[in-house]
Amino acid sequence: MNYRCKHFSIKELVTPEMYSDWGDKCWSLFDDRLLRMIDMLREKLGPCVINDWSWGGNFQHSGIRDQHFYGSAEKYLASRSQHKYGRAVDLKFNNVSAQEVRKYLIEHKDQYADIKFVECGPLQSGKKMNWVHIDVRNEQNLCCWSPTEGIIEHSEVLRRKL
Ligand SMILES: [Zn+2]
């Protein structure tokens, strides 16, 4: 059987539409490396939210994304987001700030070797990024990237608490 998360239900990883179409079969859409990494992080850093629509929350697109997120088939086809391929999640931890999680990931990157990409602030609005995007894309080393500054050195992410 394929890998299934110990700490997350499939509803927390997919959109309501995908769940109603395919139910538990959605597990097969994910890269198992991502599923193992989020279980490890949950065990180390405590409770965290990905999608919370199944208990009345607003997050629906923090796991895999389908065309509903993009609004049109063209936009969906044009995107190269790792969220489309079941290789990315946006994590919101209850007890640890996003900045602390990024610091932890950089300092323990050998333990989480499948995580290859972490997004960090600053955002276009100048605000901090209060969620943690991780993905398991095909890359050699962990890359930190900001929407406003592009690729950022690990030492800078730590120094500036991005
Ligand atoms: Zn993301």
Expressed in angstroms and rounded, the spacing between residue 3 Cα and the centre of ligand 1 is 22
Instruction: Report whether 41 contacts 92 (CB < 8 A).
Output: no
Domain region containing 24: 10-160
Torsion over CA: 26, 53, 44, 6 (sign):
negative
Per-residue pLDDT reduced to its tens digit, 38-93: 999 999 999 999 999 999 999 999 999 999 899 999 999 999 999 999 999 999 99
Beta strands in the chain (DSSP E): 48-49, 88-93, 117-119, 132-135, 143-146, 150-152
* Cα of 64 from ligand 1 centre, angstroms: 9
- Is position 42 within any domain? yes
Residue 48 counted as domain residue? yes
Q: What is the pLDDT of residues 91-111, one digit of tens each?
A: 999 999 999 999 999 999 999
Is 1 contained in some domain?
Answer: no
Residue reference for tokens 């700030």: 97
The number of distinct structural domains making up the chain is 1
The CATH number of the domain where 27 resides is what? Answer: 3.30.1380
Q: Please give the model's pTM, rounded to 2 decimal places.
A: 0.96
